[in-house]
């Protein structure tokens, strides 16, 4: 794993290598995934009151909600990996 930090918005980051997937929150299966994570206390909200535009799944099974688009998070991840 690399030691870079990927920006997920508003000063919040996640370590490079910890993300399994970055997906859009619109579909019903993803909404169920969010509800299940919240019930298990594994949901972290990085949106600062804004609507979530991306759902980040971590290797630990935790879920992060971000106000950034999945494409934006992907470009941040690419920048971090290219710097290392």
Instruction: Read off the pLDDT of residues 19-45 as tens digits, 9 standing for 90 and up.
Output: 999 999 999 999 999 999 999 999 999
pLDDT the model gives residue 1: 45
Q: Which residues contact 78 (CB under 8 A, 6 or more apart)?
A: none
Higher pLDDT, 29 or 2: 29
**What is the number of domains present in the chain?**
1
CA distance 21 to 58: 7
For residue 52, the enclosing domain spans: 5-83
CA distance 14 to 27: 24
Strand runs (DSSP E) across 10-62, as ranges? 12-15, 19-23, 43-45, 54-58
User: Is residue 2 predicted with pLDDT exceeding 80?
Assistant: no
Give the chain's mean pLDDT.
Answer: 95
Count of C-beta atoms within a 10 Å radius of residue 23? 15
User: Is residue 75 predicted with pLDDT exceeding 70?
Assistant: yes
């Amino acid at each position: 794993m690399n030691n870079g930090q990927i920006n997920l918005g508003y000063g919040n980051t996640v370590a490079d290598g910890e993300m399994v997937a970055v997906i859009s929150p619109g579909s019903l299966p993803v909404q169920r995934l969010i509800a299940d994570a919240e019930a298990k206390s594994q949901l972290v909200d990085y949106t600062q009151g804004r609507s979530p535009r991306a759902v980040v799944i971590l290797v630990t099974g935790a879920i992060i909600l971000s106000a950034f688009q999945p494409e934006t998070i992907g470009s941040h991840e690419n920048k971090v990996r290219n710097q290392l």
